[in-house]
């Protein structure tokens, strides 16, 4: 509730600012008539009021979208207790494979190579298949935990590695940053560009996380002397954001994705 209150407050302030500007433009353009002293509208006043009306309309248009999105998040259907949350990430770039979890397709974002989180029954083996071929029944996510399943192709066979992210938690006044190193043989580092280090000595197929103030920043992920830049977008309080460090054709890439969970539905 605190996170949503913060978001509502931001949108309310924005709408209030638009309305205040509108009132100042319209009222401030009224001038007394030089002979009668009466305050009469002028052509310039009418133009200012038209602009004010546009600003007011914009403030009204902002309301349903921002509040609708936040209300949708707040009242999204949630799974029963005992469920786990899993997502899929590809080890490297290339064609995005078709992935099914417990016989239901889990779409992968082509730009980031990762899916949203999906709720699955905890303490039960996952039936995972890629491009129609079953690849593992050894993944058993614990109840209330978050997992990233990293899939990769060796020759003609697909394999999976599980990264346990622990149980979900967060600070409603801050954002959460996750750093996943998907470069074999690399002890990765994440730092603010030309600034302090955020994570260091991150092992392959591991995750490190921390809460941060929700600000925009320029980041760099690196393996040894090779670095990959990324501009962290302006996050909001309560957001969670993942950074994936990958290597494709000898090129290091740092890719970001806002963490989202699919609305729960029985499958």
Per-residue pLDDT tens digits for 110-168: 999 999 999 999 999 999 999 999 987 789 999 999 999 999 988 888 999 999 998 87
Q: How many domains does the chain have?
A: 2
Q: Which domain holds residue 91?
A: 83-258
CA distances from 52 to 36, 48, 118 (A): 27, 6, 45
The beta-strand segments (E) located in 124-239 are 128-130, 133-136, 145-154, 157-167, 175-181, 188-192, 197-202, 206-212, 217-223, 226-232
Give the per-residue pLDDT at 172: 77
Same domain (yes/no): 62, 148: no
CA-based torsion, 112, 118, 124, 127: positive or negative: negative
Nearest to 221 by CA among 248, 249, 250, 187: 187
Same domain (yes/no): 124, 209: yes
In a domain, 266, yes or no: no
In a domain, 265, yes or no: no
In a domain, 46, yes or no: yes
pTM: 0.73
Q: Is the pLDDT of residue 27 over 60?
A: no
Give the per-residue pLDDT at 35: 56
Give the per-residue pLDDT at 187: 96
Same domain (yes/no): 22, 129: no
- Paired residues of 15 in beta bridges: none
Same domain (yes/no): 207, 247: yes
- Name which of 28-37, 75-84, 211-220, 232-241 the model is least confident about: 28-37
d(CA 40, CA 36): 10
Same domain (yes/no): 25, 141: no
Higher pLDDT: 114 or 13? It is 114
Mean pLDDT of the 64-70 span = 45
Same domain (yes/no): 21, 142: no
In a domain, 202, yes or no: yes
Q: Which DSSP letter does residue 48 get?
A: H
Q: What confidence tier does 236 reach under pLDDT thresholds 50, 70, 90?
A: very high
Of the three residues 74, 92, 116, the one that is the final residue of a domain is 74
- Name which of 53-62, 66-75, 127-136 the model is least confident about: 53-62
In a domain, 129, yes or no: yes
Give the per-residue pLDDT at 176: 94
Backbone angles phi, psi at 71, to 5 degrees: -65, -35
pLDDT digit string (tens) for 246-267?
998 889 999 999 999 999 887 6
User: How many CA atoms lie within 13 Å of 218's alpha carbon, on the beta-carbon side?
Assistant: 6
In a domain, 67, yes or no: yes
Of the three residues 55, 74, 93, the one that is the final residue of a domain is 74
Q: Is the pLDDT of residue 19 over 80?
A: no
In a domain, 134, yes or no: yes
SS3 53: helix
Written as six digits, the tokens of 65 are 């979208």
Give Cβ neighbours of residue 203 (< 8 Å, ≥ 6 apart).
181, 187
Same domain (yes/no): 237, 179: yes
In a domain, 105, yes or no: yes
Same domain (yes/no): 51, 95: no
Q: Which DSSP letter does residue 233 get?
A: -
Mean pLDDT of the 206-216 span = 92
Written as six digits, the tokens of 226 are 């090779």
């Amino acid at each position: 509730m605190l996170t949503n209150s913060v978001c509502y407050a931001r949108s309310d302030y924005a709408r209030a600012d638009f309305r205040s500007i509108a009132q100042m433009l319209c009222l401030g353009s009224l001038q007394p008539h030089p002979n009668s002293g009466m305050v009469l509208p002028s052509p310039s006043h009418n133009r200012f009021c038209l602009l004010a009306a546009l600003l007011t309309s914009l403030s009204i248009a902002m309301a349903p979208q921002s509040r609708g999105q936040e209300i949708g998040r707040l009242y999204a259907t949630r799974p029963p207790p005992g469920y786990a949350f899993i997502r899929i990430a590809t080890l490297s770039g290339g064609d995005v494979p078709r992935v099914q979890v417990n016989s239901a397709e889990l779409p992968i974002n082509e730009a980031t190579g990762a899916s949203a989180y999906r709720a699955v029954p905890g303490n039960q083996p996952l039936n995972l298949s890629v491009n129609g071929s079953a690849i593992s029944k050894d993944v058993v996510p614990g109840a209330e935990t978050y997992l990233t399943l990293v899939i990769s192709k060796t020759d003609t066979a697909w394999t999976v590695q599980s990264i346990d992210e622990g149980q979900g938690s967060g600070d409603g006044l801050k954002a959460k940053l996750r750093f996943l190193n998907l470069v074999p043989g690399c002890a990765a580092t994440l730092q603010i560009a030309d600034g302090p280090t955020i994570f260091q000595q991150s092992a392959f197929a591991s995750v490190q996380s921390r809460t941060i103030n929700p600000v925009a920043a320029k980041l760099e992920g690196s393996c040894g002397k090779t670095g990959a830049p990324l501009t962290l977008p302006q996050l909001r309080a309560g957001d969670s954001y993942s950074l994936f460090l990958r290597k494709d054709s000898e090129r290091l890439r740092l890719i970001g994705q806002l963490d989202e969970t699919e609305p729960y539905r029985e499958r």
